[in-house]
Amino acid sequence: MAANELNIRNKRARFEYHLTDMFVAGMQLKGTEIKSIRKGKASILEAYCIFHQGEVFIRNMFVSEYENASFYVHKPRSDRKLLLNKKEIIKIEKFLTTKGHTLIPLRLFLSDGGWVKVEIALAQGKKLHDKRQDLKAKDDQRELDRALKR
């Protein structure tokens, strides 16, 4: 796998939430975690971000154990610190004080320099009727594409 081919996505995020602002953050990782992520053995489907004591952490992100590790093996679902600017942290803290707002990861990727980055978004949960409208728009677009193809 080439350096920039890693692209792990949270596909359900755009369906489940209204996304407002997006940030790109670095991650504080251990040695075996980075090796597993580079192999593509990570998942952010069930992950979410929390704000704790002036720092932002990603919780419940799965990174499988590195099979060639000797005695030091990381925990697959431990909290990992996100590296953000002070202004971004303050903006996230203000947003999360409102009930119903959350911070979710959208994409995990490798930067040009080889660093693992995570794209996170400030989000608010959708209601059932919003999800139905999204599904209807998606179906309409699919029908339009089929008609144009013929």
Q: For 4-127, where are the alpha helices, taking DSSP H only?
A: 13-16, 31-38, 86-96
Share of the chain above pLDDT 90, in %: 53
Tell me, yes or no, whether 61 lies in a domain. yes
Beta strands 62-63 and 48-52: pairing type? unpaired
Contact 102, 123 (CB under 8 A): yes
For 20, the enclosing helix (H) or strand (E) is strand 17-27
Range of the domain at 86: 7-149
In a domain, 66, yes or no: yes
* Helix-strand-coil split of the chain, %, nearest 5: 30, 35, 35
Q: Residue 85 and residue 83: Cα distance in Å, rounded?
A: 7
Domain assignment of residue 1, yes or no: no
Query: From the CA atom positions of the chain, what is the Rg in Å?
Result: 18
C-alpha to C-alpha distances, 109 to 27, 83, 121, 122, nearest whole angstrom: 11, 15, 15, 18
For 69-104, the pLDDT digits (tens) are 677 777 888 899 999 999 999 999 999 898 889 999
Asked if residue 111 lies in contact with residue 3, where contact means CB atoms within 8 angstroms, the answer is no
Residue 123, beta-bridge partner list: 19, 102
Within-domain flag for 17: yes
CA–CA distance, 32 with 74 (Å, rounded to integer): 7
When pLDDT is cut at 50, 70 and 90, the band that residue 4 belongs to is low
pTM of the model: 0.81
pLDDT band at 7 (very low <50, low <70, confident <90, very high): confident
**Structural domain count of the chain:** 1
Is 2 inside any structural domain? Answer: no
Q: 100-148, pLDDT tens digit by residue?
A: 899 999 999 999 888 999 999 999 988 888 889 888 999 999 999 999 9
CATH number, domain containing residue 125: 2.40.280.10
